[in-house]
Amino acid sequence: MLRELQRSPTAASTTPPIDSTPSFHSLLFPRPGDSIPGQPKALHRNRANTWPMIAPEHSNQQLPETRPRSNPLSWAPGVMARAIDRVLGTAHRCLDPLSRERFLERPAPTAPQTIAYRSDDQWHCFLHRCPPPPGSIGEPLLLAHGLGLNRFSLDYHGQISLVRTLHKAGFDVYLLETRANASAFPPRGARPFDADTIAAQDIPAAIHEVLSRTGFSRVGWLGHGLGGQLLYLHMVHDPDSPIFAAVTLGAACRFDSHRASALQWAIASRILPRNARLPVDTAIRAISPLATESRSWTTGLTGGSIPGPRLRGLMNHAFEQLNGGLLRQVGLWLSTGSLCDSRNRLDYVEAMQGLDLPLLILASPGDDICPPETAAPPMDRLTGPCEMLLTSSPFTHLDLVQSPLAAAQVWEPAADWLKKHRKAAW
């Protein structure tokens, strides 16, 4: 019998069937690489120490999404965040025991959808979309926040916000996040970046993603602070960029290089490594219990028009870390007095000569970061319709996008300008 089995190749190769059903132990305690029926294979970190993501179902590109890997301790960050809020709230009540207002107003953004896009150098960033209201045409509009801020600075509360005003005007609003935001995913061996890199890589990729989704031929642009400066840099890099109209809020193009604060910023920024990240958000969050709308040291943030709970909420949620490469280029702007490239070989304001772009420049006499005279230079260079509007109230840099009083003086004129040129989006 044994000899017959050895001679027969069929009998020799016959093995008992293997049960592919996973055991109860393997379901509870899977090993790395094990696959569970009905579940995708486990994701593993790459060399860049990031998690690969899968594109949303409605996207035709393999882009990342914001869903993290399942973690048995996924509840820990939420508990830690709530614990920090309680500690800061207790500190605020101890410092101001007579106050009856709540510690902070939590963000309630209008934009519910998150969309991923990828730049040519393989950075993965995100857009946050607020779809147009029913019955409107929905021309696409990109919103870019300022330096050291995030999307909550433009869309903190759905009832009173810049995004809400533009949404009511019938636009399809997209909040732009770039590689400077903490949500971005870098590729392997990512190099340090600056404002030139963002203008040449991230903005074209974001515009292409928006146009491919909406079917329009052009987009609108609204930029606050650095968001407006990135528009100027991008238009010089790509004069034929498909932007039908733009609005800038407090976007300086010329700087007083003789100011002591400007010199200090310039010197400090040159010392920073290009890949450094300054935890400014942590510092601002730590001092948020001291902030009130009437306290004098908060005048750099607000002129008193932002309610206390919202101001402290912004200090906890709307600020982000500062990138070293960006700060080095901003320091170069302050030291040279002009909006130049990272090597100080190109003056972007002079390079805008002859560009055809309908532009509305909004500035405030109370903005110490961008006085009105520093925002005006593009008016003499552009050939398209260009206007400049000064607010009657002395709004600070943050008031332009967060003060409830800015709705009539800033947000509605910006919406009217974009509605005036919306036909060019087709």
Q: Where are the alpha helices (DSSP H) in 257-405?
A: 260-271, 280-286, 308-317, 324-336, 348-351, 372-375, 399-402
Number of domains in the chain: 1
**Kind and range of the H or E run holding 366:** none
φ/ψ of 96, rounded to 5, equals -135, 75
Cα→Cα distances 396→300, 365, 388, Å: 7, 8, 17
CA gap 404, 417 in Å, rounded: 20
- Establish if 32 belongs to a structural domain: no
Say whether pLDDT at 72 is over 60.
no
- Candidates 45, 51, 48, 26; CA nearest to 37 is 26
Distance between start and end Cα atoms, the chain: 84
pLDDT tens digits along 204-256: 999 999 999 999 999 999 999 999 999 999 999 999 999 999 999 999 999 98
Q: Read off the DSSP letter of residue 40.
A: P
Domain range for 109: 91-425
Average pLDDT over residues 19-37: 45
Q: What is the mean pLDDT of the chain?
A: 81
Q: How far apart are CA 70 and CA 62, in angstroms?
A: 20
> CA-CA distance, 287 to 367, in Å (whole number)?
22
Q: Would residue 53 count as lying in a domain?
A: no
Q: How far apart are CA 43 and CA 233, in angstroms?
A: 38
Is the predicted pLDDT of residue 353 greater than 50, yes or no? yes
Residue 268 counted as domain residue: yes
Query: Is residue 196 in some structural domain?
Result: yes
- Examine residue 74 and state whether it is found in any structural domain, yes or no: no
State the pLDDT confidence band at 120, using cuts at 50, 70 and 90: very high
User: Over 80: is that where the pLDDT of 362 sits?
Assistant: yes
Instruction: Write the CATH number for 123.
Output: 3.40.50.1820
The pLDDT, as a whole number, for residue 20 is 45
Highest mean pLDDT among 85-89, 266-270, 359-363: 359-363
Average pLDDT over residues 48-68: 44
All residues at 6 or more sequence positions from 227 whose CB lies less than 8 Å from its CB, including other chains: 143, 144, 145, 146, 176, 248, 251
Give per-residue pLDDT as tens, 407-424. Answer: 999 999 999 999 999 999
**What's the distance, CA 340 to chain centroid?**
22
Helix (H) or strand (E) holding 124: strand 124-130
pTM of the model: 0.79
Residue 62 lies in a domain: no
Neighbours of 24 (CB within 10 A): 7
**Is the Cβ–Cβ distance between 328 and 274 less than 8 Å?**
yes
Task: Name which residue leads in pLDDT, 88 or 249.
Answer: 249
pLDDT for residue 292 is more than 90:
no
Q: How confident is the model at residue 131 (pLDDT cuts 50, 70, 90)?
A: very high
Mean pLDDT of 37-61: 42
Q: Which of 153-167, 177-191, 380-394 has the lowest mean pLDDT?
A: 153-167
Q: What is the mean pLDDT of residues 293-310?
A: 70
Overall average pLDDT of the 137-155 stretch: 95
Is 291 part of a structural domain of the chain?
yes
- For residue 69, is it within any domain? no
Q: Model confidence at 259, in pLDDT bands (50, 70, 90)?
A: low
